[in-house]
Structure 1
Amino acid sequence: MDKVVATAAQAVADVPDGASLAVGGFGMSGVPAALIAALLEQGATNLETISNNLGVDGFGLGTLLAAGRIRRTIGSYVGNNKEFARQYLAGEIELELTPQGTLAERLRAGGAGIPAFFTPAGVGTQVADGGLPWRYDADGGVAVRSPRKEVREFGGRGHVLEEAIVPDYALVHAWKGDRHGNLAYRRSARNFNPVCATAGRITIAQVEHLVEPGELDPDAVHTPGVHVQRVVHVPDAAKPVEFRTVRS
């Protein structure tokens, strides 16, 4: 039952080329930066990531992006990362742009064993009708477009069918975790971490505080240990500030 591994490098050592990864975080909050840095050092390439965004230049998934290690990404926000925009427009990376709530539900459904679901989000747009540019070619033309999705009416309103996401691995950041893999997140750092944690076939968690089994109040556990395969203690987890706003 002890799922603790000694280092982040050991935790991601078996991630192969071409793996799909759900990665928690939102902007710079709750990002499993130590695991991402270990994966950068490990060398896996041709990766597919599923995350709200691809970090920022020089931090989080932005480091894997800058190294040319991400082939495809599913996300809902492409701002604040100039390298991401450059690669996408140059045809170097494929982007499946997904409404934010739909992305969260696709991950949640994957963890719950639900293969697909209907949602009104995106009906009447290219999300449902198809045609979104997933990948450009080197000349600026569209090389790959999103497909048309099934739309059905429920209660007199159109709904689009969205498929669940079950990635090979999930990388998440938690405030506290025990040796059995039970996790608790803190405030805004919870964000996409819980749904990523349940969706992954193999979930790896970096935790700021490692505690013994029984020390976490069961009512405070956000992700039960049954969903987590590896835990790494990262007491000095990086927490940069994305936008610092102070009074003059």
Structure 2
Amino acid sequence: MTETCFQLGVAIMEVSPDFIVDVSIAIGIAIMLSIVGFLLGKGVKLLVVKASEKLGFDEWLRRFSFGRAIKRTGLSAGEFFGMVTAWILYIVFILLGIHYGSRYLGLAEIASMTQHLLNIYVVGLVKALIIIITGFILTDVFVSYVYKSSELRTEMQLLAPVAEYLRLLFYIVIVIFAIEQAGISVEALTNMLTPIIWGLTVAMLLIIVFNIIQLTRGKPRLEE
């Protein structure tokens, strides 16, 4: 134990002043980029919130299920997207700080790892969010069109389970596609969701058959 401590002390004493300076500069680069990312994230978040309020984005998004889900969290749409954007910027600049600090010190493995994280996972996360948000909104528009395609109550009883089934099915497909685009394997998730989708399909068909029987008998559909 004493010999190990002695060797460690000798190694520390042998560290050159140039190495200490290089490490200090690398840490400074990482800290500086992290601070820039923090300030930029705060600024972008504030800008997104203000722009959302001015453009009426909250009211527009609230027309869709995705917007109403955000509202239930206690956040406005502007606050939600501003927060997401800010955190993405925080992560990006922290990784950039580690990347350039590592490159300055010649730590190729760490620099390569952070570059991989930026190119694959961070960019993939952004792509996944864009796909999910856009896909959910388009799905809600489509389902709303299905509901509006009939004004008769009898037809609505048959269309409602189909519309909600399609909504849920599209949501699942969109999420799986988004995760795949983020660079994450979805094979296990797909295998797990397959029996669930089949179960939902059977349930939807049973509901439709039940509604047809009720309509044929001239009885009102049972309300849950």
For Structure 1 versus Structure 2, the TM-score category normalised by the shorter chain is: under 0.3
Kindly indicate which of the two structures has a greater share of residues assigned to strand.
1
Kindly indicate which of the two structures has a greater share of residues assigned to helix.
2
Relative contact order, CA 8 A, sep 6+: which one is greater?
A: 1
Larger radius of gyration: 2
